Every structure is written in structure tokens, then in C-alpha cells.
Chains A and B, each alone.
Chain A
């Protein structure tokens, strides 16, 4: 067992693109965790989606053996954290396993809002925060100005911040030397009963549930009999070990170590994230778990083919095991049949969940238009929350509708401030604060959550050439003049397309939405009318004209392979369409609202 004195557990706080993964790779390389040949870029991002999108969604860990200049061997456990605004909840989970955090800031771009928020989380959890300036090899790097920003915006001492280039490797070794001096070692509870925190769990088809744990007290070994405190069921440990980053089995995980535990748990809910693992007969208390996360966006998800409903339910169950932020309950739609109402942290989360369900579980899914949660005050004094536009009550019984408001903190280089203010005003924002710090402006707005979650982040990036950063949280419910915007296809209401919108926006939204849907719905053998309505009043209409003919003019020469491939592709596309009455609607059309430009 490793002496906790020589263990360092830390996270890396960094914005996307600020070089966190490159730095982690550099550490791994330096400590010989992978051979040159194995050294694929960004080994920590292990899901396909993460690698393709270049972002980290799930917490991952890697244990490295570092021989310091004084000859002492240290075990370094890096617990990776996601950088996207939608996934901030994962950050606090990762940090619960750490004693320290590296705050990595791009020396050319400066501090961004998400890192500020994550840094505060780290400070709240009593982590030692070590500021690091990355990309100092870039000609436009301005480390002094960025140090000043760190001090002014975050309020931590940054004059001694380490200056590195993860890309060239410059300064990385010094960084590790500083890290082992500054970051505290885990408390030495080697002689106590086992207490381990489950940071993450996921399902493996062969091994069952795999949990990533931080051993807080005692130790855990193969053949130990353990329980997850909230479940209470005894399991025998099949294997324990660490990620080097390869999964490497060990005899024992000791106090202070971070690694995996496999205990033949077959049911997906057997090892919930945030739970405490203890010995089978031990009476140690559960560790404080994690704050439960409240979803911000809700949407119905339905299988294209109703035959897939059972596999969909199983897939959701498995997915929620390591995605605690995903919630779901059965929903029945007139248009789309049986499915689930799912709650997400944001649009990226929703996209990723859908992509994972489709890829990893081979499902074809349709989502209804996403919505935030609204509060309805009835005339009789009752108050309910609604996460589904089709469940809005009869307006005559409603005293007041309230929409969720977010407080958004934005950091942006001053040159783009005008664009950002325009964007916030367009989204019905109310300015709360504005301060100049270093080369950036820190600005706070109260914005309707609805405007923030859908595409605000993307818009923010595009009006600031990617430089603005955002951090937001729920603030309050506020009375608002809201209406339900219905969509009719060939005269029939489609509940899955209904939206809750501000009355002032209804007309514009109705026009834009029907227009976008017209582009997305392919022409059929008959006219397809798309209408938007408020109550009984039609406010917009578009028609997808009937196809007049659809036949390949020339088919000679005996070569039918290409034509055949094309037909097969079209057929696959058709299978992914949902039939509403006789009209075939592609998946994208249900999300047309997201593609509408304001």
C-alpha cells in the first residue's frame, strides 16, 4: 500500500481549448504512462463523442508514478473535469476526490467565466489552487496581463503562477515539482475502517458496474465484502486497480488512492454516484454525497419504431448510472406515442445523450422541442411546475405564469462588449453589473432561462469570435406574459412541436419556425401545410408543395450499383422519419425551433 504522504490527488480546471487535455497527456508522457506508440492525442477523453467533439464530458482519472528530483516516488492521480458550461456539475464531483487543483489559463486568451466558477467550487471545497499559465509559446501570449486578470477576477495570488507550454513541454516538469510541494497529501487514515466515495460508475457488458472511487479511509482489496451504503446489498470485490491510463488490476487500493472497483454488481442502480462504499459489517457513516443537480431543459424522447421502446428504457437506465444529471419519466404523446420526458443540463447535454443513445444502444430517436420549466399559479392559489408545453392548463384557470430567470456572468474582451450587450438585450436581458478587469469586461445579466439554454452559448461565441465565456445559474421565477405556440401539420395539432413563448415573440417565432420546418420536411406526394397557432388563431402558414415526379431519367449500361446505394441510403433516411398521419417528418424537423435564427 502506498504511503498517503506521497500521494497527490488533483484536478485540472481549464476552459475548452485552454489546453487541459494536452497538459494531461504531457504528464502521462513524462511519467511513462504510455509508450510513444500508444500516445494517442488526448487519451483522457475516452468516449468517441468526446474525442470527436474535442471536449470532456465524463470525469476520468489516471494514476501516474512520478519520480521527483529528490528521488522520492510520488503517486499522482489526475481526476479530469469537463470544461463545457453544461457540465459544471461533474466538476464538483471530481473535486471531491482531490486535495488540489491546477487552474490552467490560456496566456493568450485570459481568464474565462467557466473557470472562474469552477475555481470558486474548488476554493469552497478547500482545495489548494495552483494557477498555471499555458501556451506561453504563442507569440500573442501576455502572461503578466493574464496574471493580473486572475488576481482581479478570481482574487487569488497569481504572481508566482507557473508558466508552461503543454505543447512543447516547456515548464511542465517544474510544474510537477511545485505541485508536489504545494498540494497537500491525503489525510492518513490507513488504520481505520473502509470509507470510499463513488465518483463515477459506468456499465460494462462483461464486468457489470465499474465504479471510480476515492478511498478516504482504510483500504479495499480483492475478495473484500462491501456494501454501497444507500443500497445496503453485500457484494464481493472481484477486482480493484488504477488507470495508468490502462486499466491495471492491483491487490489493494489504499487510503488516499483513486481507482476502480468491480464487485459483480449487475443491476445498474447498484452503485450510485456520490454513494459511500464501506465494509460489509462496518457501521461507518456515509460521506457527504453530491448536491443533486436540477435539469434546466426538458424534452420528450421517442423511438421512431414503437418496437424499440423496451430497449430504449433499458438504455436510459444504463445511461443514468453514470450521468446523474439525466432524469426521465414516462411520457405519452398523441403524435409520437410512448416515450420518456427527459431532463437535461443544457442543449449540449441533450445532444450528447441522444447521440450516445443512438450510437451506443443503436436506437433511432426523435426529440420533441426542448423547453425549460415554468411555474403556473392558479386562481385558486395552487402553484404547479410544468416541463411540457402540452400540459399547460386552460388559460382561464391561470392567475399568473412565471418563467425561470438565470443570472449569467460573461467575460469578454472589451472589443466585443457591444455585440454581447446587443445579444443580451435581444434575449430580453436586464443588465446587473459591468466591470473592466485587465483586458476583459465582466458583465452580468438577468436573462430568461429559456433564452440562455437553447442557443445562447453558441451565439455568444459567434458574436465574440469565440472569446466570450459564460457561466450561469438559476436565479428565480418571474411573472411573464407567456403563451403556448401550437404547430399543426395538415390541420392536426402535433403536441410534440408545441412551445411556450413570450407573447411578444410569438408571431415572429411562428413565422420563423414554420419557415424552417418547410425547409426540413421533404416534399411528398401531396401538399403539406405547416401552421403555427395561438389558441384558435393561425398566425403563420407554410406549404411544402407536392412532388410532381421522382424518377431517375437514365438507367443504362448495366451498372446499377450507384443507383442502388442511393436508394438504400434514402430508405435508411425514410426509416428514421416519423409518420404523422400520412405525412413523413424527419427527426430534425422536430428540433426546428433550435435552428431558427432570431
Chain B
């Protein structure tokens, strides 16, 4: 029985960032915390029937989950433990945003069993933070980090962005070094991209030129590796054995439960793969999660598998493909040949991307029949 992940979505933020295309909504008055938690519980009850594997990771994501009280978070966590088998050493991550958490709450999260904290730093420099429309500044970050550490968290991730307006390598390097100086176990270092239906897509900021973006990207990866942060996924870097278990499960095409507004789930039953979705708008969700289940057709499965697994630097084996998709490896024969000829995978008998493959994944995926 393969372990599965549980994702719980908290769809509210103090402010919507202009680059963000996640399902997040600005708080209108007060968060209906109690009502939302009880909806989550109903949602969870409805989902668990289909899942049997042990829960290996829980991810409390958003939005800004740290806007919820430890008591509320504790309620959904203990319900989870009652209805599902949660491994003793399960990774339980909470996302928090500087400027949206206080020391007492952090302490509380630690006590109720959260053992990993993911902090939305984005940049340490006020100039960049304001161009990204973040509510926080450098002081808020330092306050948050101090609080997280004093609460006893040792497994910490920073979300950090690069390729920001007016950024050059020097400034990107300053962000990286400052992050590293706090010794987080994990850094998600990803490039700012302009997504459709965001404020930035309507009013695009002026981004650094391509040469600069490439320089930042290449030198950043090098610096992180020198500092002991191993690149294990396109934008994910970790100290030894500190990879995000929850995200690894996505990239390895594992199953997961998704509860909360707009949350997605994936499960495999009897050789079929299903995806679940829930109402996106918090208002609708509070009335009913309105769960929708869709069978992934066999023809779509290879793309779904590869768009996840080829993000991993170590890739995967063909037997992993067969085991996770229930398909024969023959169905990707053409792809293997083409990807190998293009120099995107290192070998026709496994799915391990080359450096070129990692840099051009979106092109590689177009080679699938």
C-alpha cells in the first residue's frame, strides 16, 4: 500500500498578490473559521472512503493558513488522525506568511503537531517585496523567523522568488545568501512568471532581460549547491534528506486527498486514476464542497505522469512508470526515442532528465504522442 498525502486548503489572504494565481481570496470582514473547519471535516469524511494507504504527509496550504488559530488547525488534524492512519513520523507542514502570524500562534502550531513550517519570504529586500505587492517587509520576516525558531521548529522552508523587476544577479545573490544564513532545511527558489488572470498579466511589470534571467538562474543553482542545498526538483533545493515529502509525492505521481475550497485530489482504484475537485469559491464551498470526480483517460496518463516525474532531478525508472500509471512502458516508446535523440533524457531505458531536459521540460512534454 503506497503512502498518500493529504492537502488541506485555506483560501484566505490579507491581500491578493498581483502575481498569484492560486485560489486565494481577500478576507471580507472576518474569516468564518468555525464554519470552514466543519466544512473541511465533512469534506474529509466524504473523501476517506476511497483511500486506504497510510498518510505520510499533511500539507496545510493556502492562501494563508497561518491566519487560522492553532485550535482550529488542531481540530482538523485530530479528526484526520481519527479517520485515517497517519504515520508516526508523518511530515506536517503549515504555510505561513510574514506579516500574518504572531509568536503565540506559532508556538501553538508547534504544540498541536505541525513539524515543518513553510514561510512565504519571496525576497528579503523591501524594494522587491513592494514590487511584488507583498504585505510584509524585511522586519516582518526577521520577526517571523525568530518566532519560528524559538517555537522549536527545525524543519523550515523558505519560498523565495527570482527574476524580479529590476533584479540583477547581485541582488538575487543577496537574497539567497540571506536565506542561507538562517539555515533553513529547504528552499523553494522559483522564477517569477506572469500567469493569466492575475493583476500582472493585465499590467505586466518590466522584468529583467533574458540574459540576466539566465545568469541569475544558472549562478543561483550553483550557489545553492555550494552551500549544501541539493537541487532535487526544478525549483526545489534541500539539505540532505530534507526534501519535501509532500511535494515529492506529487512529483512521483503518488495519490493524495485534497480537501478545502478548490483543492484537488488524485486517487488510483483498481487500475483507474481519478481526480477530484471541490468548489473554488469559499462561499460555495461553505454550502457544499460539491465534489467532482473525473476519470483520467488512458491517453492522458503518460503526460500527467511525465509532467510531474521529469521535474525531479533523479527522474524515475520505467518500472515506476508502470507501477504508478498501470500502463505498459511500451506506450511511451516513441517518447523515449524522441526525448533521447533530443538529448533530454540520459538513457532510453529510464526517465532521468539531463540538464538540457530540466531546462526545456515544457518542450520535452510536447514530444509525447
A285 at the interface (CB under 8 A from B): no
Q: A551-B234, A563-B307, A567-B366 are in contact. Are A557 and B7 (CB under 8 A)?
A: yes
Answer yes or no: B308 CB below 8 A from chain A CBs: yes
Q: A549 near B360 (CB under 8 angstroms)?
A: yes
Contact A564 B304 (CB under 8 A): yes
Q: Which residues of chain B from 169 to 215 have any CB-CB distance to chain A below 8 Å in the complex?
A: 190-193, 210, 214
Among listed B28-36, B65-73, B258-266, interface-contacting one: B258-266
Residue of A548, A555, A574 ringed by the most chain B CB atoms within 10 A:
A555
Is the Cβ of A558 less than 8 Å from the Cβ of B266?
A: yes
- CB closest chain-A residue, reference B211: A548
Least distance between A584 CB and chain B CB atoms (Å): 10
- With A549-B214, A551-B360, A553-B193 in contact, do A559 and B365 touch (Cβ < 8 Å)? no
Which residues of chain A have C-beta atoms less than 8 A from B363's C-beta? 525, 547, 550
Contact A560–B61 (Cβ < 8 Å): no
Q: Please tell me if B88 contacts chain A, counting CB pairs below 8 Å.
A: no
Q: For the complex, count residues of B whose C-beta is within 8 A of A.
A: 39
Instruction: For A568, give the chain B residue with the smallest CB separation.
Output: B303
Tell me, yes or no, whether B358 is within 8 Å of chain A by CB: yes
Which chain B residues lie closer than 8 Å to A560 at the CB level?
A: 264, 304, 307-308
Is B250 interfacial (CB-CB < 8 Å)? yes
Residue A382 is within 8 A (CB to CB) of chain B in the complex: no
Q: Would you call A554 an interface residue if the criterion is a C-beta within 8 Å of the partner chain's C-beta atoms? A: yes
Closest residue on chain A to residue B236 by CB atoms = A556
B337 nearest CB across to chain A (Å) = 16
> Which residues of chain A (532-575) have a CB below 8 Å from chain B?
547-561, 563-564, 567-568, 570-571, 574
Is the pair A574, B307 in contact by a Cβ cutoff of 8 Å? no
Most chain B CB neighbours (cut-off 10 Å) among A548, A549, A550: A549
Given contacts A548-B214, A552-B361, are A558 and B258 in contact (CB under 8 A)?
yes
Give the distance to chain A from B85, nearest Cβ to Cβ, in Å: 21
> Least Cβ distance of B163 to chain A in Å?
8
Q: A558-B264, A560-B308 are in contact. Are A549 and B366 (CB under 8 A)?
A: no
Given the complex, which residues of B lie within 8 Å of A571, measured CB to CB? 366, 368
B158 contacts A by Cβ under 8 Å: no
State A570–B308 Cα separation when bound (angstroms): 18
B143 at interface, CB cutoff 8 A = no
Q: Which of A525, A550, A554 has the most CB of B within 10 A?
A: A554
Which A residues between 484 and 515 are near B, CB-CB below 8 angstroms? Answer: none
The complex places the Cα of A551 from the Cα of B263 at a distance, in Å, of: 24
CA distance A244 to B247 in the complex (A): 65
CB distance from B196 to the nearest CB of A (A): 9
What B residues does A574 contact at CB under 8 A?
A: 366
CA distance A568 to B366 in the complex (A): 8
Residues of A within 8 A of B192 (CB): 553
Chain B residue at smallest Cβ distance from A549 = B359
Q: Is B362 an interface residue (CB 8 A)?
A: yes
Interface 1/0 per residue, B146-170 and A, CB below 8 Å? 0000000000000000000000000
The minimal Cβ–Cβ distance linking A60 to chain B, given in whole angstroms, is: 41
Q: Does B45 contact A (CB under 8 A)?
A: no
Instruction: State how many angstroms separate the Cβ of B331 from the closest Cβ of chain A.
Output: 16
Please give, as numbers and ranges, the residues of chain A lying within 8 Å of B210 by CB-CB distance.
548
Q: Could you say which residues of chain A place their CB within 8 Å of the CB of B264?
A: 557-561
Chain A residues with CB under 8 A of B359: 548-551
Mark each residue of chain B from 246 to 289: 1 if its CB lies under 8 Å from any CB of chain A, else 0: 01001000001010001111100000000101000000000000
**With the chains together, A376 CA to B363 CA distance in Å?**
47
**Whole-angstrom CA separation of A554 from B264 in the bound complex:** 16
Write out the residue numbers on chain B whose beta carbons fall within 8 Å of the beta carbon of A554. 190, 193, 235
Chain A residues whose C-beta falls within 8 Å of the C-beta of B360 in the assembled complex: 525, 547, 549-551
Chain A nearest CB, measured from B309 CB (Å): 11
User: How far apart sit A560 and B309, CA to CA, in the bound complex (Å)?
Assistant: 13
Residues from chain B with a CB closer than 8 A to the CB of A559 are 262, 264
Which of chain A's residues have a CB closer than 8 A to the CB of B307? 555, 560, 563-564, 567
CB closest residue in chain B, given A570 = B366
Q: Could you tell me if A567 and B256 are in contact, using CB atoms closer than 8 angstroms? A: no
Expressed in whole angstroms, the minimum distance between the Cβ of A437 and any Cβ of chain B is 50
Q: Are B22 and A552 in contact (CB under 8 A)?
A: no
A549 and B265 within 8 A (CB): no
Q: Is B217 an interface residue (CB 8 A)?
A: yes
> Is B303 in contact with A567, judged by CB distance below 8 angstroms?
yes
Query: B193 near A552 (CB under 8 angstroms)?
Result: yes
CB-nearest residue of chain A relative to B189? A553
Decide yes or no: A567 and B365 within 8 Å by CB, A548-B214, A550-B359, A558-B256 being known contacts.
yes
Binding site for A on B (CB under 8 A): 7, 22, 61, 190-193, 210, 214, 217, 234-235, 247, 250, 256, 258, 262-266, 275, 277, 300, 303-304, 307-308, 311, 342, 358-363, 365-366, 368
A-B contact pairs, 16 of them (CB 8 A): A525-B363, A550-B363, A551-B360, A553-B191, A553-B235, A554-B190, A554-B235, A556-B250, A557-B7, A557-B264, A558-B256, A564-B304, A564-B307, A567-B307, A567-B366, A571-B366
Given A552-B234, A560-B308, output 7 extra A-B contacts at Cβ < 8 Å: A525-B342, A547-B363, A548-B210, A550-B363, A552-B361, A554-B235, A560-B307
